[in-house]
Amino acid sequence: MTERTVAAGSTRLWSEDRGDPGDPPVLLISGDCQPGLFWPDEVVAALVGGGYRVIRYDHRDTGRSTHRDFAANPYTFDDLTADAIAVLDAWGVSAAHVVAFSMGAGLAQLIAVDHPHRMLSQTLICTHALGIDFADSVARAMAGETSRDGLPLPEPRVFEALELHAGPVHDRSAELDRRVAGWRTVAGDAFDPAEFRRREERVIDHAGTLHQSIAHGYVTEGIATRGADLARITAPTLVVQAPLDPISPPPHGRHLAGSIPGAVLVEIPGMGHALTGTALDALIPEVLAHLRR
């Protein structure tokens, strides 16, 4: 394992490289407000063992990357996409397979349309298509309204639970309890609180702080107007739909796969908006099979 700090303008991004530098590269992109360690070591080990070089990184405002006040230093999804490209540049990678989750899968779609030469393939997990105004969808869900596009809105219980568990960080145990409760709300079947507590302990140790930024929740520019661009994607695409995902519920995955030429859709039974151990047992073989295709 090798760590490297990547410069993206005035932002510094922590990154990590594992595997043989001569193997095909895979870039892992985490969801909103999640650092690179969002990706369990089981995923990294399976990819390295399958003959791939794996790179993961901390988004800005997560982990060991630069943290700033968002109101004073706003940015867009295009800026977050540029961060991912900066990571590839720093590691000397001209093009990579991209495996991405939630907001990270939105960034992957932007890479696919704006930087197609940098992408070998993409795997999009638990997400919605470019062209979906997620901020508007959340607002409409909380107001008890219907969607504008006929696709299901996020479930209000998710955001009610996040609000319930928000507040000042008192101590490590209380913060871990808060984070585990948040994952429980979205994770689907076979949720193991001890598993997620261990993961969040590593995330806290890695970041060196109990504070968890919510800056990505304020990013609104760069995705909602790009839906028509999906038809231009040429990268081989796997879309993973989680049947119990309360944030991007079915059929968001089917809609996304139908918007990208040649995309393949798979559903992982019992999966919610989280990488539980049970979900990974089914997900990892699908990802490896897609990379090998």
Please write the tens of the pLDDT for every residue from 30-50: 999 999 999 999 999 999 999
Is residue 68 one of the residues assigned to a domain?
yes
Determine the Cα–Cα distance for residues 151 and 94; give it in Å rounded to an integer: 36
* Residues 135-140, mean pLDDT to the nearest whole number: 91
pLDDT for 183: 96
What pLDDT band is residue 14 in, cutting at 50, 70 and 90? very high
Is residue 170 one of the residues assigned to a domain?
no
Q: Which two tokens stand for residue 191?
A: 């949720």
For the chain, what is the mean pLDDT? 95
pLDDT for 186: 97
pLDDT for 159: 82
Report how many domains make up the chain. 1
**Closest to 43 measured CA to CA, from 99, 104, 4:** 99
Beta bridge partners of 238: 123, 264
Is residue 223 one of the residues assigned to a domain?
yes
pLDDT for residue 6 is more than 90: yes
pLDDT for residue 100 is more than 60: yes
Percent with pLDDT over 70 in the chain: 98
Q: Give the tens place of pLDDT for each residue, 177-205.
A: 999 999 999 999 999 999 999 999 999 99
Is residue 197 one of the residues assigned to a domain?
no
Q: Give the tens place of pLDDT for each residue, 59-68.
A: 999 999 999 9
**What distance, in Å, lies between the first and last C-alpha atoms of the chain?**
27
Q: Give the tens place of pLDDT for each residue, 233-245.
A: 999 999 999 999 9
Is residue 113 one of the residues assigned to a domain?
yes
- What's the CATH code of the domain at 120? 3.40.50.1820
CA angle 250, 251, 255 (to 5 degrees): 140
User: Which domain does 87 fall in, by range?
Assistant: 2-153+213-292
* Residues 75-104, mean pLDDT to the nearest whole number: 98
Is residue 95 one of the residues assigned to a domain?
yes
pLDDT for 194: 98
pLDDT for 276: 98
pLDDT for residue 125 is more than 80: yes
Question: Could you give the residue numbers annotated as active site?
Answer: 102, 245, 273
Is residue 127 one of the residues assigned to a domain?
yes
Q: Give the tens place of pLDDT for each residue, 209-259.
A: 999 999 999 998 778 899 999 999 999 999 999 999 999 999 999 999 999
What pLDDT band is residue 168 in, cutting at 50, 70 and 90? low
Percent with pLDDT over 90 in the chain: 91
DSSP code per residue over the chain? -EEEEEEETTEEEEEEEES-TTSPEEEEE--TT--GGGS-HHHHHHHHHTT-EEEEEPPTTSTTS----TTTS---HHHHHHHHHHHHHHTT-SSEEEEEETHHHHHHHHHHHH-GGGEEEEEEES---TT--HHHHHHHHHTT---SSSSPPPPHHHHHHHHHT-S----HHHHHHHHHHHHHHH-BSS--HHHHHHHHHHHHHHHTSS----GGGG--SSSTT-GGGGGG--S-EEEEE-TT-SSS-TTHHHHHHHHSTT-EEEE-TTB-SS--HHHHHHHHHHHHHHHH-
Is residue 172 one of the residues assigned to a domain?
no
Determine the Cα–Cα distance for residues 91 and 42; give it in Å rounded to an integer: 22
